[in-house]
Amino acid sequence: MQITVTVNDQPYTREVEPRLLLVHFLRDELGLTGTHWGCDTSNCGACVVQIDAVPVKSCTMLAVMADGHHVTTVEGLEKNGELDPVQKGFTECHGLQCGFCTPGMMLTARWLLDNNPDPDESEIREAISGQLCRCTGYENIVRSVRWAAEHTCTPEVSA
Ligand code: FES
Ligand code: FES
């Protein structure tokens, strides 16, 4: 089947097998290997991307289901050479160790901050509750998201 998916603001048209999962489309067809594939059971959340600005486990979706939609992967978080505050927060607060869970965590964090710019610890923990980290114990991930919340410039309102 032919599909056109906009990924990180760039449209891609490809012929794909109807059974191809979105995670494999992103990694193997488009070479966007920042989206990780960590399980066969839809449990780990390493594969989280945003579909139309909502976090989704890309191993639970077929690529054909993304036809006509906008996908954001970790490669799309940086804008004009500037890291997203979430990326800076993970750097500043040591929010990763092996980094395997990190892209998915960052995309969920970005969604959370877009919808709740000042989340408390329990709201952050709830947002990432569908994603596993085997290294950090989550504490530094929470601190990283809080850092991003505290260092995000809100656009000035023109008079
Ligand atoms: S790869 Fe584990 S939830 Fe998608
Ligand atoms: S940093 Fe290793 S799994 Fe999260």
Residue minimizing CA distance to atom 3 of ligand 2: 133
pLDDT digit string (tens) for 2-53? 999 999 999 999 999 999 999 999 999 999 999 999 999 999 999 999 999 9
Sorting pLDDT into bands at 50, 70 and 90, what band is 155?
low
Separation between Cα atoms, residue 147 and residue 91, nearest integer Å: 10
Q: Which two tokens stand for residue 63?
A: 């690529």
Residue minimizing CA distance to atom 4 of ligand 2: 133
- Which ligand gives the minimal distance to the CA of 37? 1
Taking the domain 2-74, which CATH number applies?
Answer: 3.10.20.30
Please report, for the chain, the start and end positions of each structural domain, with discontinuous segments joined by +: 2-74, 85-150
Q: Which two tokens stand for residue 103?
A: 């892209």
Beta strands in the chain (DSSP E): 2-7, 10-15, 48-51, 54-57, 70-72
For residue 40, what are the contacts with CB-CB under 8 A and spacing of at least 6? none
Class of the 85-150 domain? mainly alpha
pTM over 0.85: yes
**Residue 53 CB less than 6 A away from ligand 2:** no
pLDDT digit string (tens) for 67-84? 999 999 999 999 999 999
* Cα of 36 from ligand 1 centre, angstroms: 8
**Residue 96 CB less than 6 A away from ligand 2:** yes
pLDDT digit string (tens) for 94-145? 999 999 999 999 999 999 999 999 999 999 999 999 999 999 999 999 999 9
